[in-house]
């Protein structure tokens, strides 16, 4: 892992085994937190997973976050949608929850990728070559 000097965000190379392992760890920790929320009575099946996907997208990149999102859907279906620990036919409300999660996951992973790229650009010194500023006019 290397640290981005400006923001202090730890970074993992995308497509590395560390990124995908981090994705599995993030999904597991999110599942534990979601289990606690369900035990307390919450019925928002994907509530904990969405912020975790965003943070994972920032740290490990889009491929690991997409992997985690694809891993999350069957996990939530099996563990958190009643009847628990069974794959049964989904109701239309549960199908809508999964569809909404997929839409929000795509948007959050895209935003995390843009933020990650912005951090990389700022770390390199910005868009302008060194020595030039946006205020100067070379004409």
- What pLDDT band is residue 25 in, cutting at 50, 70 and 90? very high
Contacts of 90 (CB under 8 A, 6+ apart): 77, 81, 98
Residue 107 has a CB neighbour count (10 Å cut-off) of: 12
**What is the SS3 assignment for 61?**
coil
Q: Which two tokens stand for residue 58?
A: 């920032």
CA proximity to 56, closest of 44, 47, 45, 68: 68
pLDDT digits (tens, 9 = 90+) for 42-86: 888 999 999 999 999 999 999 999 999 999 999 999 999 988 899
Q: How confident is the model at residue 6 (pLDDT cuts 50, 70, 90)?
A: very low
Question: For every residue of 62-106, which 3-state class applies, written as one string?
Answer: HHHHHHHHHHHHHHHHHHCCCCCCCCCCCCHHHHHHHHHHHHHHH
Residue 11: predicted pLDDT: 76
Q: Work out the pLDDT band at 92, boundaries 50, 70, 90.
A: very high
R_g of the chain computed on alpha carbons: 19
Phi, psi of 3 (to 5 degrees): -100, 135
105-132 pLDDT, tens digit each: 999 999 999 999 998 888 888 776 656 5
State yes or no: pLDDT of 2 exceeds 80: no
Are the CB atoms for 52 and 43 separated by under 8 Å? Answer: no
Domain spans, the chain: 2-124
Closest CA to 44 of 30, 63, 65: 30
The model's pTM:
0.82
């Amino acid at each position: 892992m290397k640290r981005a000097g400006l923001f202090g965000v730890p970074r993992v190379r995308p497509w590395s085994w560390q990124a995908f392992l981090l994705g599995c760890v993030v999904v597991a920790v999110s599942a534990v937190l979601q289990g606690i929320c369900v035990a307390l009575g919450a019925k928002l099946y994907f509530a904990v997973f969405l912020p975790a996907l965003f943070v994972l997208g920032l740290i490990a990149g889009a491929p690991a976050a997409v992997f985690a999102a694809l891993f999350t859907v069957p996990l939530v279906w099996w563990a958190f949608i009643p009847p628990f620990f069974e794959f049964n036919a989904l109701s239309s409300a549960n199908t809508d929850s999964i569809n909404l999660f997929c839409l929000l996951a795509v948007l959050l992973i895209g935003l995390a990728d843009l933020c990650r790229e912005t951090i990389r650009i700022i770390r390199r010194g910005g868009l302008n070559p060194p020595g030039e500023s946006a205020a100067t006019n070379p004409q």
